[in-house]
Amino acid sequence: MTEQKRRYFGTDGIRGRVGDGAITPEFVLKLGWAIGRVLAKEKHSKVLIGKDTRISGYMFESALQAGLSAAGVDVYLLGPMPTPAIAYLTRTFHAQAGIVISASHNPYHDNGIKFFSGHGTKLPDEIELEIESMMDQPLVTVDSAQLGKAHRVDDASGRYIEFCKSTVSSKVDFSGLKLVIDCANGATYHVAPNVFRELGAEVVVMGAEPNGLNINQKCGSTEPKLLQAAVLEQQADLGVALDGDGDRLIMVDHQGELVDGDELLFIIARAQQRAGNDSPVVVGTLMSNLGLEHALQKYDMELHRAKVGDRYVMEMLKATGGIVGGESSGHIICLDKTTTGDGIVAALQVIAEMEETGNSLHELRSAVSKYPQRLINVRVNKMIDLAGSDEITTAVRSVEARLGDQGRVLLRPSGTEPVIRVMVEGRDATLTNQLASELASVIETIQNH
């Protein structure tokens, strides 16, 4: 598998703590040059660079710009922009690539670099491997006459705002709706409020005062408690919580209750079905709640489960011919609208469905009865072959037999830390918790031997 050969790229670019490993100015300078050499082989090549609001973004933007220029590539600087906006603008500018400087929902002291092809999609594995190979070559600057130039794109946000608005019917009118929008002090702070205002909604804004250090801090889709309180206090119709780079969405209904990615995925899939989308396929992940699967079945739709990660959701959408996919965390991909997960676009589809049906968000989400889910992270000091252990296999089968078709079991090693994730889902919360604890104990016993 090509993923095993990667030294720097993870499932979503390169990410880590600023100053450590690959997240240094020296590495990013060389990375910019390597990208330029691999992706921009024709004359007059151009690459777009956007970033979120982390203080380290300035440093890495300059480093990438210098590396790309040394490779002879023109650079178009977008400034702070949501990740999906960079995917969109890379296509409309006919650029060879788009680069995002962001660590998504992570705290400010992390940062990362991720890439889009000229089609606005994640880079293929073979291109990532070619870039890694180029990192081993000495950095050679092109002749001065061929050095890349830098341009600042002043109307980037306006272009993206118009695109977002175009993803809902011009007949849909948001006037009369009161929304609270939490921009996570991130890349959507100057975009999201304007999108919803220009469609007619009354907008109360939170998390739109980035200072370089407060991105995702007690705000946004990963920490929506303040948004829940604000929706109730403002007597708003709903709340929209985005993450630091704008590709993730969680919503809050008028009762202050969270509406997660599974429920949002169902609402959008139903909207697509009502609009005449013939594909019965909806793509979730191994972590998608069983309640989503059962809710879709009532409307003759099928849930296909991909590995965790929007990259794998996208791969399965393409393989199955599906249009809508996403994760419980709120990455929602609407392939008929855009090429990547987009929090603003997903929110617009949900609100448009509210307006089309006359139902509140609370009513729309009530079609999904989520099953109680218990997740236990078991710390391990050695690798355990989950599939090859008779003891674990027997324990899993026993749990599955007790759950029947009213639950499911998932064991998987974490890709980022030394833990095995034990997830049990079932209709009965007490039984679910008990069975998850039993399975976790089996793994702890094995790893202690």
Residue 3's pLDDT is 44
Residue 415's pLDDT is 65
Please name which of 355, 357, 349 lies closest in space to residue 333, comparing C-alpha atoms: 349
403 confidence band (pLDDT: 50, 70, 90)? very high
Q: What percent of the chain has pLDDT over 70?
A: 97
Residue 13's pLDDT is 85
426 confidence band (pLDDT: 50, 70, 90)? very high
From residue 301, give the alpha-carbon distance in Å to each of 211, 274, 281, 287, 339.
44, 12, 6, 18, 22
Residues 147 and 202 in one domain: no
For residue 4, pLDDT beyond 70: no
Q: Which of 111, 139, 154 is the last residue of a domain?
A: 154
416 confidence band (pLDDT: 50, 70, 90)? low
Alpha helices in 182-236 (DSSP H): 192-198, 225-234
Residues 407 and 321 in one domain: no
Residues 291 and 336 in one domain: yes
Report the distance separating Cα 329 and Cα 288, nearest Å.
Answer: 9
Residue 447's pLDDT is 76
Report the distance separating Cα 149 and Cα 51, nearest Å.
Answer: 19
Does the active-site annotation cover 366? no
Residues 209 and 356 in one domain: yes
Residue 386's pLDDT is 84
Mean pLDDT on 242-249: 97
φ and ψ of 109, to 5 deg: -75, -5
Residues 391 and 432 in one domain: yes
For residue 58, pLDDT beyond 60: yes
Residues 64 and 135 in one domain: yes
Which among 56, 104, 221, 279 is annotated as catalytic?
104
Residue 123's pLDDT is 85
2 confidence band (pLDDT: 50, 70, 90)? very low
116-127 per-position pLDDT tens digit: 999 999 888 888
Query: Which among 10-24, 39-53, 189-203 has the top mean pLDDT?
Result: 189-203
251-304 per-position pLDDT tens digit: 999 999 999 999 999 999 999 999 998 889 999 999 999 999 999 999 999 999
365-397 per-position pLDDT tens digit: 999 999 999 999 998 887 778 888 889 999 999
Neighbours of 411 (CB within 10 A): 21
Q: Which of 365, 382, 405 is the last residue of a domain?
A: 365
Enclosing domain of residue 388: 373-448
CATH number of residue 90's parent domain: 3.40.120.10
Residues 124 and 181 in one domain: no
DSSP 25-84: HHHHHHHHHHHHHHH--STT-EEEEEE-S-THHHHHHHHHHHHHHHTT-EEEEEEE--HH
Residues 277 and 237 in one domain: yes
Q: What long-range pairs does 436-439 form, CB within 8 A, spacing at least 24? A: 436/374, 436/375, 436/376, 437/374, 437/376, 438/395, 438/399, 439/376, 439/395, 439/396, 439/399, 439/409, 439/411
Residue 5's pLDDT is 64
157-216 per-position pLDDT tens digit: 999 999 999 999 999 899 999 999 999 999 999 999 999 999 999 999 999 999 999 999
Residues 193 and 135 in one domain: no
Query: Which among 125-134, 159-168, 425-434 has the top mean pLDDT?
Result: 159-168
Q: Which of 365, 382, 397 is the last residue of a domain?
A: 365
Residues 93 and 177 in one domain: no
Please name which of 392, 399, 401, 397 lies closest in space to residue 374, comparing C-alpha atoms: 399
35 confidence band (pLDDT: 50, 70, 90)? very high
Residues 210 and 230 in one domain: yes
Alpha helices in 167-205 (DSSP H): 192-198
Residues 347 and 208 in one domain: yes
For residue 77, pLDDT beyond 60: yes
b/e code 44-74 from CB counts within 10 Å (16+ = b)? ebbbbbbbbbbebbebbbbbbbbbbbbbbbb
Helix, strand counts (H, E) of the chain: 14, 18
Question: Structure tokens of 344?
Answer: 């603003």
Domain tally, the chain: 3
